[in-house]
């Protein structure tokens, strides 16, 4: 998914401005945490029935974009 902005938004009035799935209060951070704990896409969708596969793909795409722009300084 190239255009995660169709599914991810930030709003200072929702979840303190953290990136969320549009139309929900489900944060990108929460989905990444659940995936890192070993939850499958299907498990996440069962826990949060409002989510679609495209939402989870958008979370991964958004995360890639953020991380790819980070710069590490060698110490």
Residue 50: which CATH number?
Answer: 1.10.10.10
Q: Is the sign of the CA dihedral 60, 41, 19, 11 positive or negative?
A: positive
Query: Is residue 68 domain-resident?
Result: no
- Is the CA virtual torsion 27, 32, 34, 39 positive or negative? positive
Q: What is the pLDDT along the chain (75 residues), one digit of tens a residue?
A: 458 889 999 999 999 999 999 999 999 999 999 999 999 999 999 999 999 999 999 999 999 999 988 887 777
Give how many domains the chain has, as a whole number: 1
For the entire predicted model, the pTM comes to 0.86
């Amino acid at each position: 998914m190239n255009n995660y902005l169709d599914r991810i938004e930030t709003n200072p009035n929702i979840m303190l401005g953290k990136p969320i799935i549009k139309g929900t209060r489900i944060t990108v951070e929460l989905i990444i945490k659940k995936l890192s704990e070993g939850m499958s896409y299907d498990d996440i969708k069962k826990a949060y029935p409002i989510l679609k596969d495209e939402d989870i793909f958008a979370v991964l795409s958004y995360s890639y974009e953020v991380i790819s722009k980070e710069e590490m300084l060698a110490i």
